[in-house]
Structure 1
Amino acid sequence: MADTTTHTAPFNRARSAEESPVKRFFRATEIDTRLLGMVGAMLIIWIGFHLLSGGLFLTARNLWNLSVQTASIAVMATGMVLVIVTRNIDLSVGSILGFVGMIMGVLQAELLPQLLGFNHPATWIITLLAGLLLGAGIGALHGVIIAFLNVPSFIVTLGGLLVWRGATWFVTSGRTVAPMDSTFRLMGGGTEGSIGATASWIVGLIACVAIVASIIHSRKQRKRFGFPRRPIWAEYFLSSVGCALVLGAVAIANYYPWPTNIARKYAEANGIAWPEGGLFIAHGIAIPVLIAILIGIIMTFIATRLRFGRYVFALGGNPEAAELAGIKTRWVTVRIFALMGMLCAVAAAISTARLNAATNAQGELDELYTIAAAVIGGTSLAGGMGTIAGAMLGALVMQSLQSGMVLLGIDSPLQRIVVGMVLVTAVWLDTVYRARAK
């Protein structure tokens, strides 16, 4: 054993000396080069749209709106990762969002006010719980048909896309339902649906502490189990970059002020003298963005720390081996689709609250953006590989494309063409990446 260590160390040092500085840097920091490449592509997209739009894209207002618009797709993309990892697909997520959103809209705008009165404190809680249960039930129904009746997920969810979109219309005969409960609307963002500058800085500092604590914990765990550890400088580098990104995002959110009319009304209502230059009240981080981040953290924990997550990746990597290992693969599939349905309900709540209405067109084509976000984020359609963080970053890339094209005045049909081309390109790159990895 001593001889092995003696001979291995000089070999590793010799190998490190032969590597280029870039390779040594990535090996030391363990940064996912594929994820880094996607970040680079997103920055190119942002800079390109900023130049083409005459400096409108990279503004605090547009970036804040971009984060809010990304929230619902990002939430669903976290669930789509698990679906695709198991070699399935869910084409019904947009229709489920629309149907659940319509049910939640009818509950809080028409049914609950008759029982509890308008703006009752329990209205938004009952509405959200009902939506979550309905979404989970629809997802579980899909999962049972796929797992126990052996109907391909493509067919089941394609049928779900049509069924639930039609059911959305039948709930109100095509009528738009509005307005939503005042507390429920906070989940959609806007002036009131943000936490303000002070709370945003507190959240940012907590996030920085969590990043540092996570890196320290990971280092201790590696030492405990005898795994290789990153160099100290790499740990400092990752901590610094993570904290800088978090605090930078908070600074941008706090740089976007309330509209003048709303700020004036707030000043009048609170007896605040209106200064000559106007009153600057920062939006801060939007509540739907916080919801999406929280969902991302929970889903990452499920995928990487729980037994269920290990079963999901085992099922995607080799279904036959997973079955022989004693994993109840059918029930894993049912739970995955039930979880996907619940995430659709969360996205429906965000979308309905943001629009302050439930409409029949709500969620249309969201299945395309959700699948594209997961695939762009590194989830392989061949199964067995994918990350929650990558999918959420993919959702931001997709929404950046859409937002930039809107700023440039590009017609909706052409926007769809671009999104379709991006999706095909992402799948092609995934195929090339997997072929080189073998």
Structure 2
Amino acid sequence: MNASVNVSPAPGEKNRMPGSTRIRQFFSQYKIVALLVAVALIWAYFSYATNGAFLTSRNISNLFRQMSITGMLALGMVFIIIAGEIDLSVGSLLGLLGGVAAILDISQHLPLPVTILLVLLLGALVGTFNGLWVTWLRVPSFIVGLGGMLAYRGALLGATGGSTIAPSSDAFVVIGQGYVSPATGNVLAVLILALLAYITWSRRNARQRLDLKVNPVWMDAAKLVAAAVALFVFVHVLNDYGGIPVPVLLLLGLLAVFSFIATQTVFGRHIYAIGSNIEATRLSGINVDRVRLAVFALMGVMCAFAGLVNTARLAAGSPSAGINGELDAIAACFIGGASMRGGVGTVHGALVGVLVMASLDNGMSMIDVDAYWQMIVKGLILVLAVWADVVSSGARR
């Protein structure tokens, strides 16, 4: 005789889901959507406050150019944070590498390709040096970054003699101030859209071969249409003011590379695994120290890119370059959904976080908000972003 026990929920318990729980689940699943809505609201407010000046092609072009430097730092920083580490030296390292670029370009008169190659190589070496302290010598990354923040700033002051090195060569300045022609921008938009369509088609075929769940055709088509609209609006607005800025194009290229690493490579999966549970990852046979070392080396390379663009944008090497750059990059990553506990975060989320920060900086400057209020607002947003991470973590649990 089989007996079964039917445990049914108490009356009303089936539908009992506190509003706070639903909110947590929404933020956990749709962080990027919520951030994009926040960006739209920020832009709408500043457009109203500036009588439409905020949304002019000129200001949008300047906004994206301004965010490109912090965006490059954020691309490297999000990997650092996902791996469960932190690097406070990136602002000072940006300044140092930018200063070295100015010296090579202005004082040594090296060809532009040689200058770029040497600065990128130096960035990778310094990033690896930071990683060696963390992996081999077991010094906490917070302390290594703090020491680097002081040491690299001192090295920059020593290399430049505490004075600005100027002017940069015309070829070098193009990196930070140049534009891609409108025709080239249109061609790139078409190529990017074709690439997105190919990737979507390839993923659908791969999932079908593996008998995995596949999104409805209309859903993938809707995503492509939304991407096409956003892409061509983006290009059209920037073409109205001379074309796509070179730093923005460089940032988009780096975004594609880092997105591929994070989502399509074994190395990217290892980064997430280390941040989620480093001991379990080590016991599974993964060389944890090698992965962490590579992450710090990538961070150094991104500091080199940011330093090159910053020096080219200013047409000079400045001893004050990169101050607070690490704070903006870290804040952008947390705003974009990265978790301070590691193992969580996305590359595109970090860039949306940069867009939020850059939009606030740009908009508040246009309406003449005092500098101290700008700092207060950015600090509050950072705390709110970490609180949202805590809330969404509760939803995941």
Instruction: Output the TM-score relative to the length of structure 1.
Output: 0.83
In 2, Cα distance between equivalents of 1:223 and 1:397:
37
Q: Which of 61, 82, 85 matches 2:82?
A: 85
Following the alignment from structure 2 to structure 1, what is the Cα–Cα distance between the partners of residues 64 and 203?
29
* 1:331 aligns with one of 290, 294, 297: 290
> How far off is 1:181 after superposition?
2.2
Work out whether 1:295 is the aligned partner of 2:254: yes
Matched, 1:66 2:25: no
Match of 2:162 among 174, 179, 202: 174
Q: Is 1:35 the counterpart of 2:32 in the alignment? A: yes
Establish whether residue 145 from structure 1 lines up as the match of residue 130 from structure 2: no
Which residue, 322, 326, 342 being the options, matches 1:363? 322
In the TM superposition, what is the alpha-carbon distance from 1:51 to its structure 2 partner? 1.0
**Aligned residue among 303, 309, 323 for 1:344:** 303
The residue number in structure 2 matching 1:245 is 230
Aligned mates of 1:231, 1:172 — CA distance in 2: 59
Q: Give the Cα–Cα distance (whole angstroms) in 2 for the partners of residues 329 and 353 of structure 1.
A: 37
Structure 1 stretch 325-334 or stretch 426-435: which is displaced more?
325-334
1:109 to 97, 103, 106: 106
Q: Distance in 2 between matches of 1:179 and 1:204?
A: 34
**Alignment pair present for 1:393 and 2:352:** yes
Runs of 4+ in structure 1 deviating by more than 6 angstroms, as ranges, are none
Letter in 2 for 1:171: A
Q: Which residue identity is paired with 1:39?
A: L
1:127 deviates by: 0.9
What's the secondary structure of 1:57's corresponding residue? helix
Match of 2:209 among 224, 236, 239: 224
The answer on whether the counterparts of 1:98 and 1:360 sit within 8 Å (CA) in structure 2 is yes
Q: Is the 8 A contact 2:160 2:319 kept in 1?
A: no
Q: Distance in 2 between matches of 1:321 and 1:306?
A: 20
SS of structure 2 residue aligned to 1:95:
helix
Aligned to 1:309: 268
Q: CA RMSD in A?
A: 1.5
Q: Which amino acid in 2 is paired with 1:366?
A: G
SS of 1:80 mapped into structure 2: helix
Secondary structure at the counterpart of residue 54 of structure 2: coil
Q: 2:220 aligns with which of 231, 235, 244?
A: 235
- Equivalenced residues, count: 372
SS of residue in 1 equivalent to 2:212: coil
**Which secondary structure does the structure 2 equivalent of 1:183 belong to?**
helix
Amino acid at match of 1:408: I
TM-score calculated relative to the size of structure 2:
0.91
CA positional deviation for 1:109 = 0.2
Contact 2:92 2:149 in 1 (8 A): yes
Q: Distance in 2 between matches of 1:130 and 1:411?
A: 40
Residues 109 and 167 (structure 1), Cα distance of their counterparts in 2 relative to 1, 3 Å cut:
same
* AA of the residue aligned to 1:82: F
How far the C-alpha of 1:407 sits from its partner, in A, is: 0.4
| Distance in 2 between residues matched to 1:252 and 1:154, nearest whole Å | 41
1:193-234 Cα offsets, whole Å, 9 max, x none, are 111111111111111111211111111111111111111111
Q: How far off its partner does 1:413 sit?
A: 2.2
Contact 1:211 1:243 in 2 (8 A): no
CA distance in 2, matches of 1:181, 1:222: 51
- The amino acid across from 2:209 in the alignment is R
**2:102–2:168 Cα contact (<8 Å) kept:** yes
- TM superposition shift of 1:32: 5.6
**CA positional deviation for 1:245:** 0.4
For the residues of structure 2 that align with 1:182 and 1:133, how far apart are their CA atoms?
A: 23
Letter in 2 for 1:213: Y
